[in-house]
């Protein structure tokens, strides 16, 4: 079943990313772009992710929000000439 019509993302793809550690719709969006266009699939993705076990969620509940945010931030890098073209 398609979860995101804009980018052709299926429920299996969302479940696979969740099994690999994605705990939030934002993390699913980073991996697949689902939820970044019209946004109508975000609630469906939230429902699929549920309130299951998530290492990052456990950190948040224990008050380690800084550790969670630091883990989600990737350092910015300048595009190469090939990427910019």
Rounded to 10 degrees, the C-alpha dihedral 31/33/39/44 comes to -40
Q: For every one of its 85 residues, what pLDDT tens digit does the chain have, with 9 covering 90 and above?
A: 999 999 999 999 999 998 888 889 999 999 999 999 999 999 999 999 887 666 555 555 565 444 444 444 444 455 555 655 5
Predicted confidence at residue 50, as pLDDT, reads 84
The C-alpha atoms of residue 45 and residue 4 are separated, in whole angstroms, by: 9
Q: Specify the long-range contacts of residues 69-76, CB closer than 8 Å, at least 24 apart.
A: 72/27
């Amino acid at each position: 079943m398609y979860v995101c019509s804009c980018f052709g993302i299926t429920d299996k793809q969302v479940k696979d990313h969740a099994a690999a550690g994605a705990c939030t719709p934002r993390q699913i969006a980073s991996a697949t772009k689902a939820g970044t266009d019209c946004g109508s699939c975000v609630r469906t993705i939230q429902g699929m992710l549920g309130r299951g076990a998530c290492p990052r969620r456990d950190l948040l509940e224990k008050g380690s929000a800084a550790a969670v945010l630091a883990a989600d931030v990737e350092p910015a890098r300048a595009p190469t000439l090939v990427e910019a073209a």
